[in-house]
Amino acid sequence: MKLSWKVKNYLSWSRRALLILRTKGLEGFVSGEAEEPGDKKTSEWRTWSSTNSLIVAWLLNSLSPTIAATVETISTATEVWKTLSKLYSGEGNVMLIAETEERVGELRQGENSVMEYVAELQRLWADLDHYDPLDLPHADCIAAARKWIERRRVMQFLKGLNSEFEARRATLFHQPTLPALEDAIAAMAQEEVRLKLMKNNTTTPSHPAFIATDYKSRECFNCGEKGHLIRSCTAPRRNMRGRGRGYNRGGLRGGRGRGYSGGQRANVAVSEEGSSLATQEESKKRTESTGDKDHEDCSYGNFAHFVSTDEGEANGEEAWDWNQA
């Protein structure tokens, strides 16, 4: 027989000890049923004495050294058992009853599995049954009281489960009658397996093709500082000529051809020689008045911005190229 003294709880220790003694048919030595023979000279007494000494030694070895020291002077197994029960069982102890009920009410599943949570609940319920045993005069009353207690324990069990079991828990609560405790535990254990399978089968979504730009790491083409783009830059605009297609990177959109500033659509038709020069002078004046240096000198000759109409007036509609205007 082997029972470790590392079992801290008396109730767990006593249950295991009785179970081991029953396997050998020796539980009567601790319950008092196996009485000591009166005549110590008979073989029956010698058999009883050897068996009793064996059980006492086994009980002492299964206790922690501190607790064993309190009962090692007792010679019979029955007295050892009774003394330990009085000291540590807590039967009828109101403070232990209140403490255990509070622990049951506060117990939640948390990071434990369903079965680990159930094991802790059942241990506390067993302690309550020991501290405050059900004592009724008739067997029918005891059976009815046990059903009432079981319904309360089903609700305690369901209440302490994690929120991921809410759908299954609501289904059980909406039934006309609550299931038995074993059925409720089995249902939640199956639900736990189903949730694990769903979690394992969930594939990681692929990364989107378009990702929002983080402007904090981008560098402004105008001022060279990070954290914004040129369209929101508050610094004075610098000359961006020669940088990519269309040197004015931050200007208005919609320009045609290379070197177009994106400002005015400055296509003008003149009918006299020299008018193009005058129009260029007016364009410069507008540029100086607005103060936009990026728009300076945006006309390179009169081949893209000016069309002379002093020749070929008769064929003007046929010769006009709308794509060049």
- Summarize the confidence of residues 52-57 as an average pLDDT: 93
Could you tell me the CA-to-CA distances from 143 to 37, 125, 136, 216, 234 in Å, in that order? 40, 17, 10, 72, 84
- Summarize the confidence of residues 281-307 as an average pLDDT: 49
List residues bridging with 268 in a β-sheet: 306
- Summarize the confidence of residues 166-178 as an average pLDDT: 91
Model pTM above 0.75? no
Q: Which residue would you say has higher pLDDT here, 305 or 234?
A: 234
Residue 124, pLDDT > 60, answer: yes
Distance CA 83, CA 253 (A): 97
Record the tokens describing residue 202, joined without a space: 């969930």
> Are the C-beta atoms of 105 and 145 separated by less than 8 Å?
no
**By three-state DSSP, how is residue 306 classified?**
strand
Residue 88, pLDDT > 80, answer: yes
